[in-house]
């Protein structure tokens, strides 16, 4: 589940990094997302895996995630929520098997609707707001040209992390990608 906000005005903003990572995965697999009114989301499937970009606003992400989870009988422990994190430097990845929402309203909504905090997640660092910029302006702002090279490589690594979690489980992905972050300094 890639988290973001719907609409052109939010495309390519920091808050929509979850959508960007799922778009990278769809491109790799040669699949396309289709809008689904039933799920209030854009969905794509490949090899038994369902990829979802909720069409609701970030704070309401739990509704479509819960609906899809219940319909396909996917336990919370097999869902991977992918979203932005201002507490991490740009491009830093942090995978966890569960835990609190950590102040992220999209994850909070998912936890509330699924009734458990044991939802695996991939946090993608978008960096903190600098100077006088508000947090809202920062997360709803677009990445700069100077950030583009780090962003592109980090999105590829995040897609790799999702694929590792799919193939070997969240612990395998955590071991591979959380360790890689330490090696990057």
Structure tokens at 129: 């707001």
Reduced to 3 states (helix: H, G, I; strand: E, B; else coil), residue 120 is coil
Q: Which residues are catalytic?
A: 15
**Residue 122, strand partner residues:** 82, 95
**What was the pLDDT predicted at 182?**
53
CA 2 to chain centre: 4
Residues of the chain with confidence (pLDDT) below 70: 132, 180-185
pTM of the model: 0.94
**What was the pLDDT predicted at 32?**
97
**What was the pLDDT predicted at 26?**
98
The C-alpha atoms of residue 32 and residue 151 are separated, in whole angstroms, by 22
**What was the pLDDT predicted at 181?**
64
**What was the pLDDT predicted at 129?**
86
**What was the pLDDT predicted at 132?**
64
């Amino acid at each position: 589940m890639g988290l973001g906000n719907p609409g052109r005005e939010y495309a390519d903003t920091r808050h929509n990094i979850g959508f960007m990572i799922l778009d990278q995965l769809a491109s790799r697999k040669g699949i396309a997302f289709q809008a689904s009114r039933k799920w209030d989301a854009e969905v794509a499937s490949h090899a038994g895996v369902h990829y979802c970009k909720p069409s609701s606003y970030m704070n309401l992400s739990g509704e479509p995630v819960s609906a899809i989870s219940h319909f396909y009988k996917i336990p919370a422990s097999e869902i991977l929520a992918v979203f932005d994190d201002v507490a991490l430097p740009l491009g830093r990845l942090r995978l966890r098997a569960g835990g609190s929402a950590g102040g992220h309203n999209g994850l909070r909504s998912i936890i509330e609707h699924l009734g458990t905090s044991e939802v695996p997640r991939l946090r993608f660092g978008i960096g903190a707001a600098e100077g006088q910029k508000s947090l809202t302006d920062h997360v709803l702002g677009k990445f700069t040209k100077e950030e583009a090279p780090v962003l592109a490589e980090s999105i590829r690594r995040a897609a790799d992390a999702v694929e590792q979690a799919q193939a070997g489980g969240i612990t395998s992905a955590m071991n591979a990608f959380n360790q890689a972050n330490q090696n990057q300094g």
